Amino acid sequence: MSACRQALLEDGLTLSQAGARGIAVGRDGWLFWVGRSDELVELYTDSAVTRRLLRRWVQLVVGRVHRAESLGATYVQAIVPEKIAIHADTLDRPFPGLADPPGARLGRLLATQTRADLVDLYEPLRAARAEEPVYLRTDTHWNHRGYIAAYRALCEALAVAPAPHVLDATGQPARFVFDLGGKLKPSVDEAYFAHEFPRRAQRSEANALVHLRETGRVAGRGGFFVGSRAVMRNLEAADPRRIVLFGDSYVFDQGPRLTAMLAESFREVHAIWSAEIDWAYVAAVKPDLVVYEIAERFLRRVPTDRFSVDAFAERRVRRELNPTVLDRLRTLLRLR
């Protein structure tokens, strides 16, 4: 048990004080993901285990940079800070490592030990947070201000001008039950600003997993996101470069998230929901940039990059449409 967790218990507190699936409740109803077993505490604690983990990431990125360069591309890495690091002022209990999060520590290691191009999202988000919140109160994701701050930072790192119509996004107030709020009993919704901007980019391609989700057959079910792939093309974009973008839910979404934003700045964006890089796909597409985004909490696992995005998607769809007896049994067990 970590010293931080022990101190919390001695104070009569647990990070999952809400008693809801690894969610901590801060001031004024702010919710934070900390993990069912306080995984985020362990990741944020500067220990021999986390230092070894970060060294493994450095080794991975060294290899990725070399492989990208051999294919004529530049490798770019961005780490999305945890909400708890940016909105620490709303947490009413001790938490380790907030002054120097693991993603920031990894960023320094990558800067000195690799040739990767790095995107710092910590300082832009903290600067924006000094004025207004940049994360949703009841979710792990950014609100519209957070997405704009991240988009600006990415554009600066990629040497492209932000699209003015993205920065001038409009929208309207709305309410929604987001992920963390939905895990409480009763669930908690949130008022937020649903932003939108004109889309000049058009989707030209998507794989089987994206098409399956769009049928509505798997609506509300997890497990149908990793392996998604879509291609956006924008003939009006000023920058002619082609990007292959690997990331998670901060990137890949039909809504106004980073894929849609970057597609307004670049001629062609290939977006893949995966922590693993599909190097065969990269070799086939021949991009100028391989951009890799990962949420800080997912640093707990170091990828192997042995992955074929479309083969994975097709297997996942096939299991859904033609489940085996074992698949049906697993579904029944989950429903109990």
Angle 78-301-47 from CA coordinates, rounded to 5°: 90
Its pTM surpasses 0.85: yes
Q: Is 249 exposed, middle or buried (0-12, 13-18, 19+ CB in 10 A)?
A: middle
The DSSP symbol for 162 reads P
Q: For residue 160, what are the CA distances in angstroms to 150, 266, 327?
A: 14, 8, 46
One digit per residue, pLDDT tens: the chain, 336 residues?
433 334 333 433 344 444 467 899 999 999 999 998 889 999 999 999 999 999 999 999 999 999 999 999 999 999 999 999 999 999 988 899 999 999 999 999 999 999 999 999 999 999 999 999 999 999 999 999 999 999 999 999 999 999 999 999 899 999 999 999 999 989 999 999 999 999 999 999 999 999 999 999 988 788 899 999 999 999 999 999 999 999 999 998 778 899 999 999 999 999 999 999 999 999 999 999 999 999 999 999 999 999 999 999 999 999 999 887 776 776 667 654
Encoded tokens for 188: 């908690």
pLDDT of residue 16: 44
